[in-house]
Amino acid sequence: MISVSQKSCFFIGHRETPEEIYPVLCAAVEEHIVRYGVTEFIVGRYGCFDGLAAKAVKTAKQTHPEVELTLLLPYHPAERPIPVPDGFDSTYYPPGMENVPRKVAIVRANRYMVDHTDFLIAYAWHPASNARDLLEYARKREGKGLIHVTALPHNDL
């Protein structure tokens, strides 16, 4: 469950993210823990970026045991039961998602997280993509002081 007392960070990125981003992602996770005091990371499970983000947080948990890793569930757990995966501390299904059509459930769950977390780590550069749209939305929220966005570079890898 997303806690209001903890600082939380969500991840968004492209499905086909290259493995080479992993060291940059690990550094971003470490910075969010040490510099910003993030103790809760939320990640999905539908692409390479999500897998790399989860791996980076699991690695960070070895030296920062206070850190929690939560799996975002875009589909109702009663419809598609998912046990808490190894290395994760919990799962989270956003409230109010029960009537969201399946074809937009992931997009809606991701947007909910941007609206309800303190930080976003993004790897989104395809111009016509849901990840890129969400990054742009998060940047608008950042301009209002509602979230802090870290966009990972894709050219420097």
First to last CA, the chain: 34
Cα-based angle 55, 57, 63 (whole degrees, multiple of 5): 115
33 burial level (CB within 10 Å; 0-12, 13-18, 19+): buried
Look at the domain 7-151 and name its fold.
Answer: Rossmann fold (3.40.50)
Average confidence (pLDDT) over 25-33: 98
d(CA 13, CA 149): 13
pLDDT band at residue 68, thresholds of 50, 70 and 90?
very high
- Quote the pLDDT of residue 157: 44
- High-pLDDT (> 70) share of the chain, %: 95
Q: What is the pTM of this model?
A: 0.93
Average confidence (pLDDT) over 29-51: 96
> Does 123 have pLDDT greater than 60?
yes
Q: Which strand (E) or helix (H) includes residue 115?
A: helix 102-116
d(CA 90, CA 60): 17
Average confidence (pLDDT) over 122-148: 92
Give me the residue spans of the domains in the chain.
7-151
Q: What are the distances in angstroms from CA 49 to CA 57, 63, 153?
A: 12, 22, 13
Q: What is the pLDDT of residues 140-155, one digit of tens each?
A: 999 999 999 999 987 6
